[in-house]
Amino acid sequence: MAALPDGCVDLAIFDPPWSQYDAPAAGANPGTVYEVLSEADIGAHLSDGVRLLRPGGRLVMWACWPLLVETFRGSPPSWLAIDGLRWVTGGSWHKSGRLGVGYHWRGHSEPVLVGAKIGQPTGPALINLRSSYTSQKADHSAKPAEWMADWIRAWVPPGGCVLEPYAGLGSGAVATVLAGEGRRYVGYEVDEERYRAARMNVLRASS
């Protein structure tokens, strides 16, 4: 992300590999799927994402309910208190079918937060957008591309740019393809197997 110029992104989508997901009580071991990061590292990546937002752009971050509850204790964690960013709203994805992971109960929903640059209004939504979404749970960490495509249609103008620093299985890239109208996508994924799977997912969505 350091190579990208300031103000070049309309929507930045973050799905961080939280260190909390590596806890034995979480019901899964992400360490066998991908490496997790510290909250400080995730906070640094979020700060870079804020730098890249154009005026009126948005930053979206997937989280989990226990992680959000933990923010009420003590000072705000590094990922929440991001210089230049204010969290403005949020929504939730309800996962039908298979249970998700969780530390206190097995989760069927996952929250998502939306932020904007401090001092800048968010751009007007181009379409009405649901704050909740229900769909079948798919592969591990794969997010609902159809709902994310609605975000992109609402918040990214035709020809605009979507950034996804933790691209995973390419849900954000697929969503950008589904949104159409010349919108562009930049994603990063360090795991080679997941990168190959993401490319296949994008090719299928494009055909």
Transcribe 139-150 into DSSP letters.
Answer: STT---HHHHHH
CA dist., res. 65 & res. 100, Å (int): 12
First to last CA, the chain: 29
Six-digit token pair at 121? 């209004």
Short-list 134, 174, 183, 118, CA closest to 154: 183
> Which DSSP string corresponds to 37-48?
B-HHHHHHHHHH
pTM score, two decimals? 0.90
Domains of the chain with bracketed CATH: 9-206 (3.40.50.150)
- Nearest partner of 8 among 55, 44, 60, 43, judged by Cα: 55
Please list the pLDDT of the chain residue by residue as tens digits (207 residues): 888 999 999 999 999 988 766 665 555 555 556 788 888 889 899 999 999 999 999 999 998 887 787 777 667 777 788 899 999 999 999 988 766 666 566 668 889 999 999 998 887 788 888 899 999 887 767 899 999 999 999 999 999 999 999 999 999 999 999 999 999 999 999 889 999 999 999 999 998
What whole-number distance in Å separates Cα of residue 110 and Cα of residue 119? Answer: 28
Containing 49, the helix (H) or strand (E) segment is helix 39-52
